[in-house]
Copies of this chain bind each other. A is one copy, B any other.
Amino acid sequence: MQSVTPLLFLGKSGEVVYFNNPMWPGEAHSIKVEKILYKEKSEYQEVLVFESLTYGKVLVLDGIVQLTEKDECAYQEMIAHLPLCSIPSPKTVLVVGGGDGGVLREISRHSSVEHIDICEIDKMVIDVSKKFFPDLAVGFEDPRVHLHVGDAIEFLRCAPEGKYDAVIVDSSDPVGPAQELVEKPFFETIAKALRPGGVLCNMAESMWLHTHLIQDMISICRETFKGSVRYAWASVPTYPSGVIGFLLCSTEGPHVDFVNPINPIEKLEGADKHRRKLRFYNSEMHSAAFALPAFLKREVSLLRDYSH
């Protein structure tokens, strides 16, 4: 595929950073840099942090914006609460990726949760988040959190069967270190690690740009998960095309109605207590996230029979 601008053009402070990628050819999003705060190569990827003019601090991995302080709320809150509000009293949760800590911060709102495993491959991401993104890294301070630095596929292989009520896959795009995370064996190990009626929430690309990838993921998940498989999406301005999708799957067992949360956030005592208020998620946004445009239902044939 053709590259419009360099994958990452890094000028001096005050210049503009361009984000362009083979995953979204023909377009780029630029965010004005006020100051570069960090730039190192880890064992796995290039890690960059900068202060922007209007989006707060920005975390970039291999030239792709992972989060900005302005809009991280949309992604972190949706990827955590879409699954956790869909099941009664989640107790044991696994996060794959999510080294910035934002998803942990959101899981922490659920007082029913007793144990949170997180498996992040790149320690530098965790360290950088603790240094530059304290509002996200605060998630690591919860005593229920158990950090495992390493490969998620290995970790899942060793996990006891049926251990988790929910697995949340907060990975980067399926290029580079996250490539294996859209393949069937990965989903199979997740399904095994979930209890009957347990749920997976997996980052699932843009409905405007990646319909083929979405079709493939849904197809694999329909084969692998014998409960429900649903697609949802949210608005995140700094992600390509301004949206990000989520694939929600449940294993065979008690039926999970993803669209109508059984465990609504408003009823969770103390979900906001001692914590910053929810910025994006609420029960209406939860249900609304499952409404899909006509073109998506048509192009992704596996979505056609959605009764919602």
* Residues of A near any B CB (own CB < 8 A): 2, 4-5, 16, 18, 20, 24-32, 52-55, 70-71, 73-74, 208, 233, 235-237, 239, 241-243, 277-282, 284-285, 287-295, 298, 308
Contact = CB atoms under 8 A, between A and B. Distances in A.
A65 to B, nearest CB: 11
A75 to B, nearest CB: 12
Given A26-B31, A208-B235, A284-B308, 9 more contacts: A4-B16, A5-B16, A25-B54, A26-B32, A26-B52, A235-B243, A282-B291, A285-B291, A288-B290
Contacts of A290: 288
Contacts of A55: 26-27
A5 B26 contact: no
A298 B277 CA distance: 10
Given A2-B53, A26-B52, A237-B242, A291 B280 contact: no
Given A4-B16, A28-B30, A294 B280 contact: yes
Nearest to A272: B294
A237 B240 CA distance: 8
Central interface residue in A285, A291, A298, by most chain B CB within 10 Å: A291
A38 B195 CA distance: 60
Nearest to A239: B242
A27 B294 CA distance: 30
A29 B26 contact: no
A235 B245 CA distance: 12
Nearest to A77: B294
Nearest to A73: B295
Contacts of A280: 293-295
Contact of A208 (B18, B237, B243, B291): B237
Closest 7 CB pairs of A and B: A242-B242, A26-B53, A288-B291, A26-B54, A288-B288, A237-B241, A284-B291
A236 B28 CA distance: 15
Contacts of A287: 288, 291
Contacts of A18: 30
Given A74-B293, A284-B308, A53 B25 contact: yes
A30 to B, nearest CB: 4
B294 A278 contact: yes
A291 to B, nearest CB: 3
Contacts of A295: 73, 279-280
A138 to B, nearest CB: 19
A4 B31 CA distance: 9
A305 to B, nearest CB: 14
Contacts of A54: 24-27
Nearest to A25: B54
A277 B296 CA distance: 13
Nearest to A243: B235
Nearest to A299: B279
Contacts of A28: 16, 29-30
